[in-house]
Structure 1
Amino acid sequence: MKFNNIKLFLTIGLVTLFSVSCEQYFEPTTTIDETTALANESDVQTVTIGTYALLINDNYTTSGHYLMEYPSDEIAQGQISSNDLTRLYRYTHINTSSHATAYWSQAYKVIAAANKVIAFVSNDASDELKQLKGENLFLRAMVHFNLVRMFGRPYPQNSGDNPGVPILREGVTDEELLTISRSSVKDVYDFVIADLESAAALMGSTKTNIYGSKEVAYALLSKIYLFKEDNTNALKYANLVIDSGRYSLLSSSDLPNYFKKTPESNTETIFAIRHTNVQIAGIGTMYISSDQAGNPLGQGVSGWAELYASKKYIDFIGQHPEDIRKSFIIPYVVDGTLQYNQKLTPATPMYYIDKFTLQDNVINAASPVYLRLADIYLIRAEANAKLGNTAAAITDVNLIRTRAGLTGTAIYTPANITAAGKTVLGVVLEERYLELAFEGHRVYDLFRNNLPMERNYPGTHAQNNTPTTDTHQSVLPTDPRVVYYIPQAEINQNSNLIQNP
């Protein structure tokens, strides 16, 4: 985490971001590094745009997705990868993980950049400057929250009294950076909640969903409180987002196009990391190989296509063939026959995932969605289920199921939930599995609810077993490897960073 030798050039460079509030493209050419003092609103705007640009870097977006999604039971890895991806998938993490190291480094660059604006802008500044300060507070909170989920244990374990990650506040000196310790998970949560509350008070509701706004801060607060098991506040902030009227679920007919839309044209997206069609994130290349019409092709044609929707997920969503969300999965079929990746025994069925490709019909172009309205409805449903408000919880689950094209007995009632031997909380978590698959939610939903991650389908996780044809893997929420090691490169610079066991 040593920043004194890293010049944080906060400029777009080749990156171009669109600002609806100014109705123009920002293309700043002034380079403002970490040693340059901010002087005016123009400088603050330039730095803020540069901070958003730091999110687009593969070290943040792509490595972050790998770290959040690959340990889940939604996907199956079809072959051993030459880089760190197999270890992420199999839970055989190492302290020199390339993706964990890359994400940690890039995340703290984002935080350091945000701190520059946070320190400069007073809370009684102009409305324009307060908006920009609020956006940077949101970015700082979001990144700290992601870090503490990856490198700190789930909050419910020991009520947050486990090592989290270092909190990087504004005004920290170079000398302090080299001695900063890990704060507890609880302290990190408290810090990000305070940042988001301040951000919401400073920001308005006019910017589009590729920037921070009051409702974006509320949405992240609802998620953080849910993770903290403060269900009353999770419900409060979910209601603020839903009742704002700023967002609406896509229609059933438009749902298959969700991830092909640009964020600004998507009424359901609350916050996304905007990529233009020339800023190709590496996420989709691992999940699919297709032509511009979305027709599946062989591995390596337009993508590596090495990770697939798991047989577990396919079977679960297949219980209702009419479920529109099946459109996000494309079986690779040749001459009417489903293809299998033969590099494992047993071989893995090749069900491609197309949530990260074909933005504006450009192969592998996508703008990763961080917060969306369906997630908030399901956060509200989970909070209500845990508070005993079962009717309200079922109503929100059924709203998502109806949008997905489900009808009749597929719509939940207290009676059919009981008859199926399920609980209201259980059907909420199942709906999150169906709706938010491949978006980086699953393992956190399991582990924070003290549930194991269970695989019993072909994939490289079988290589952990003897014999390797045994496809079962169970990872308990108390397993040491549900979190990543602190990158050894950071510990080498700062001996106060205590390693995870």
Structure 2
Amino acid sequence: MNYLKYITIVILIFSLQSCSDFLEQEPGTQTSIDELLQDKAGVLTALKGLYKEVEANVRGERFAVYADLQGGNIKFTPASSGNSKGQITAALNIKEVYSFEDAAESSNFKSFYDGSYDIINQANLILEYTPALTDATDIEKKQIMAEALTIRAYTHFLLSQVYSQDYGYTPDASHLGVVYNTESIKSGLKYPKRETLAVTYSLIINDLKTAIESYSDQPAMEGSALSYFGKNSTKALLARVYLFQKDWTNAYAMANDVITNSGVALVNSSDLIAQWAQPDLPISEALLEFSIPKDSEGNVSSSMASYFGYNETSYANYVASNDLIDLYENNDLRKQLFLNVDLSTLVNGVLTPVQYSFTRKFQDNAGYVAFRLSEMYLIRAEAALENNQSDVAMADVNIIRARANATLLTSTDNLKEKILLERRKELCFEGQLFFDLARNHKGVSRIDGCISTNCTMSYPSLKYVLPIPTYNINLNANLQQNESY
């Protein structure tokens, strides 16, 4: 993408997200980046727009369902009407990815790849302009930069999960990571190569550590602090990064920090189902849930219910597979987080009522839950086990199981598998499973409802990562394609 086209897109993104005076210009005029980012109000306008782009990128169908669909937690619903009523087909946006047959020339994920680097470029612009602000205090400038740094690191991390093999794929993580952009395109057009995954992670961690040191107690913008990165949610992200890096000591320390010092508590058993089901409000143990888009009258334009929702007149594309449902004990409260509904389905050419299980997690204007406290307990448990503290690990797993009214563990035998199983049950529909399988060098086994041409896959496989879109490869001769694409 040439320089002028890229800058125009950035300007439009910033401007369209704003309700400020930047839109109130004479016809035919255009706000340049220099004008937009010259003062605190303009930078905050840009930051607000940046969060909207992040929310759209992770909540978009492709990424929002990717890890659970590929790993086997979810399957498709039948068509509800028309000539295709009762037929089950893969959603168009992820059809090739679902079968592990995505093609570089027509990748299902091109918009995710492009959107991610647009976000990174916007974060870098904010980082470049903020230090020169004359109408912001040092504390305000540090806060703005901390949030932009975290968004930059978060987006690079998500890219590495989708486009790079897991950290342990090679002994020293010397295999391909991602292009790590630390400068905006405005600073000059460059043609960078992909870093190794080891270097990619070191850059992510450095950004996050720098951000944590710079955060204040006040978000840069008005509104719910839960919607913006802060010190606690950035520590939660860093705990996840350390987990995927297999840095068990730091993963334990960072997860423990969040559990101990965030001021957030696990939801009680008695409130668990009701809190997930409540409309408009996030579950109280969420550490970060990006705000969903609303119009000027407060109406929601899109949410996670677009993919997982059910009401009496319509339903979305994705439901839980029995591969997942069958993992829960009958008395496990989390089994109540599924709404069982009969839908007309073609069975041997005859429309037949078949039961489907919709998740209650993402109904009624649900936002994208990026991090919540229960994940920190499970990270701490896994890290403790890897640090030869099996009793500590079992205790953390039992905290989550007790909350769910599941049978408590009494033995540390095969505890690693039990932790991974608990992650699958607790964090289902939250974008974890496929990445958990990859980092633990496990194969994919999708049985119930699988309509893919490839329902199983053994680790290692070149198809654990997606192709970089050909269009982007053609723009940068130094950008190396993933093997097999």
> TM-score scaled to structure 2, two decimals?
0.85
Give the distance between the partners of 1:223 and 1:210, measured in 2 at CA: 19
Summarize the Cα distance change of 1:279–1:400 in structure 2 as closer, same or farther, 3 Å threshold.
same
Q: Pick from 75, 84, 87: which aligns with 2:96? A: 87
Distance 1:349 1:202 in 2: 51
Name the SS for the 1:321 alignment partner. coil
Tell me the distance in 2 between the aligned counterparts of 1:233 and 1:483.
26
How far residue 189 of structure 1 moved from its aligned partner, in angstroms, is 0.8
The Cα shift of 1:257 comes to 3.4
Q: Aligned pair 1:152/2:144, yes or no?
A: no
In the alignment, residue 180 of structure 2 is paired with which amino acid?
I
Q: Provide the aligned length of Structure 1 versus Structure 2.
A: 450
Structure 1 residues 100 and 243: CA distance shift in structure 2, 3 A: same
1:255-297 deviation per Cα after TM superposition (whole angstroms, max 9, x unaligned): 1234445787643111111115534436433334314xxxxxx
Match of 2:37 in 1: 38
Structure 1 gaps, min length 5: 17-26, 292-300, 359-364, 465-472
The answer on whether the counterparts of 1:75 and 1:310 sit within 8 Å (CA) in structure 2 is yes
Alignment partner of 1:284 out of 284, 302, 305:
305
Compute the displacement of 1:82 (Å): 5.7
Query: Against the structure 1 CA distance between its residues 344 and 282, is the aligned structure 2 distance closer, same or farther, given a 3 Å change threshold?
Result: farther
**2:293 and 2:302 in contact (8 A); partners too:** no
- Give the alignment partner of residue 234 of structure 2, picking from 192, 214, 217: 217
Letter in structure 2 aligned against 1:180: P
Match of 1:396 in 2: 396
TM-score after normalising by structure 1:
0.82
Question: Match for residue 193 of structure 2?
Answer: 181
Alignment partners' CA distance in 2, 1:218 and 1:189:
15
Which residue in the other structure is 2:317 paired with?
306
Q: CA deviation at 1:498?
A: 1.4
- Identity, % of aligned positions: 25
1:484 CA drift (Å): 0.6
Distance 1:439 1:76 in 2: 15
Letter of the 2:310 partner, please give it: S
1 CA distance for matches of 2:2 and 2:156? 17
Corresponding residue number in structure 1 for 2:178: 165
2:46 equivalent in structure 1: 47
Equivalent of 1:326, from 335, 338, 348? 335
Report the more deviating stretch, 60-69 or 451-460.
60-69
Residue 384 of structure 2 aligns to a residue whose secondary structure is helix
Partner of 1:9: 11
Deviation at 1:343, TM superposition (A): 8.4
Rate the CA distance shift 1:475–1:428 in 2: closer, same or farther, 3 A.
same
Q: Note the alpha carbon deviations across 1:61-114, whole angstroms, 9 max, x for none.
A: 333213333212111235223613222222221214454101111111111111
The structure-2 alpha-carbon separation of the partners of 1:491 and 1:12, relative to structure 1 and needing over 3 Å to count, comes to closer
> For the structure 1 residues 213 and 489, does the alpha-carbon distance in structure 2 shift closer, same or farther, using more than 3 Å as the test?
same
Deviation, 1:131, is 0.5
CA contact (8 A) 1:263 1:269 kept: no
In the other structure, the counterpart of 2:20 is 28
Structure 2 CA distance, aligned partners of 1:437 and 1:457? 16
Higher helix share: 2
Q: Secondary structure at the match of 1:350?
A: strand
Are the equivalent residues in 2 in contact too, given 1:73–1:455 (CA < 8 A)?
yes
Deviates more, 1:27-36 or 1:156-165: 27-36
Q: What does residue 493 of structure 1 align with?
A: 475
Conserved 8 A contact 1:287-1:308 = yes
SS at match of 2:167: coil
Work out the CA distance in 2 between the residues paired with 1:209 and 1:199.
17
Deviation readout 1:421-460 (Å, 9 max, x if unpaired): xx11111111001000011100111110111121222321
RMSD value, Cα: 2.8
Query: In the alignment, which residue of structure 2 is the partner of 1:350?
Result: 356
Residue 475 (1) aligns with residue 457 (2): yes
Structure 2, unaligned runs of 5 or more: 24-30, 78-87, 220-224
Q: State the Cα distance separating 1:181 from its structure 2 match.
A: 1.5
How far is 1:386 from its partner? 1.0
- Once residues 338 and 140 of structure 2 are traced to their aligned partners in structure 1, the CA distance between those partners, rounded to angstroms, is 43
Where does 1:59-458 land on structure 2 (aligned, <5 Å)? Answer: 61-78=60-77, 79-81=88-90, 83-97=92-106, 99-122=108-131, 126-158=138-170, 159-173=172-186, 176-177=189-190, 179-207=191-219, 208-261=225-278, 266-276=283-293, 278-281=299-302, 283-291=304-312, 301-303=313-315, 305-317=316-328, 320-333=329-342, 340=345, 342=347, 349-358=355-364, 365-406=365-406, 410-414=407-411, 417-418=412-413, 423-458=414-449
